[in-house]
Chain A
Amino acid sequence: GAGVSQTPSNKVTEKGKYVELRCDPISGHTALYWYRQSLGQGPEFLIYFQGTGAADDSGLPNDRFFAVRPEGSVSTLKIQRTERGDSAVYLCASSFAGGPYEQYFGPGTRLTVT
């Protein structure tokens, strides 16, 4: 079956602009995770959704970052007033449920803020 997909694969934006990154999880997976990976680093947790609700958003770096999952499937990560330090690869993962289930990762969106 289809894996996790993310769009766009690359996004270049100017400092101060607003961006949206989309994640389409594996069908039937109720848990969805966003991670951010800076160059040369391991991915860092941002937010976890169980169904439509954000069950844990403790990894979001500040209030410029927000994510939604209105119908419990597709999720959108939204970044306002982008800064150069937001440049990174944003990875999405889904799993059957929250808890000890394997997470399956998408290919990521590379965000570059100029």
Chain B
Amino acid sequence: KQEVTQIPAALSVPEGENLVLNCSFTDSAIYNLQWFRQDPGKGLTSLLLIQSSQREQTSGRLNASLDKSSGRSTLYIAASQPGDSATYLCATQGRETSGSRLTFGEGTQLTVNP
């Protein structure tokens, strides 16, 4: 059974700082890994999706990497802004079950202070 872990659980940084969020998973038999953003009381917004054959994906100030063999992914946020404050979730889409459910970590709660 896939297990996804995110470290740290919470992070507070001053505006402008570059930061890294970590995600690890136990089963490397995945189709892809996805990073989501969740604002308080809201649904999930997809940020980046990395296919299992890819090493990284970039969107604006965000860069996500994937090392499937070691079961790790990182989300790099450059020049953080107060508007980046949210909970960030990573999820793997597995090959082990029909339909390929997503297995989520517990999230990292990010606060960017002005």
Contacts of A45 in B (CB 8 A): 101-103
**Docked-complex contact B104 and A107, CB < 8 angstroms:** no
**Docked-complex contact B93 and A100, CB < 8 angstroms:** yes
Contacts of B49 in A (CB 8 A): 102
Which applies to chain B's interface (DSSP): helix, strand, loop or mixed?
strand
Indicate whether A44 sits within 8 Å of B43 (C-beta atoms), given known contacts A31-B99, A98-B98, A100-B31: no
Residue from B43, B51, B99, B106 within 8 A of A99 (CB atoms): B99
Interface positions of B from 27 to 84, Cβ below 8 Å from A: 31-32, 34, 36, 41-44, 46, 49, 51
A42 an interface residue at 8 Å Cβ cutoff? yes
Q: A50 vs B97: C-alpha distance in the bound complex, in angstroms?
A: 13
Tally A residues with Cβ within 8 Å of B. Answer: 29
A55 an interface residue at 8 Å Cβ cutoff? yes
Contacts of B103 in A (CB 8 A): 45
Q: Given contacts A35-B104, A43-B104, could you give 15 more A-B pairs where the C-beta distance is less than 8 Å?
A: A41-B107, A42-B4, A42-B91, A43-B44, A43-B89, A56-B101, A58-B97, A98-B100, A100-B51, A101-B100, A102-B34, A102-B49, A104-B46, A106-B43, A107-B42
- B: residues with CB less than 8 A from A are 4, 31-32, 34, 36, 41-44, 46, 49, 51, 89, 91, 93, 97-107
15 intermolecular pairs with C-beta atoms under 8 Å apart: A40-B106, A43-B44, A43-B102, A45-B102, A45-B103, A50-B99, A55-B98, A56-B97, A56-B99, A98-B100, A99-B100, A101-B100, A102-B34, A105-B46, A110-B41
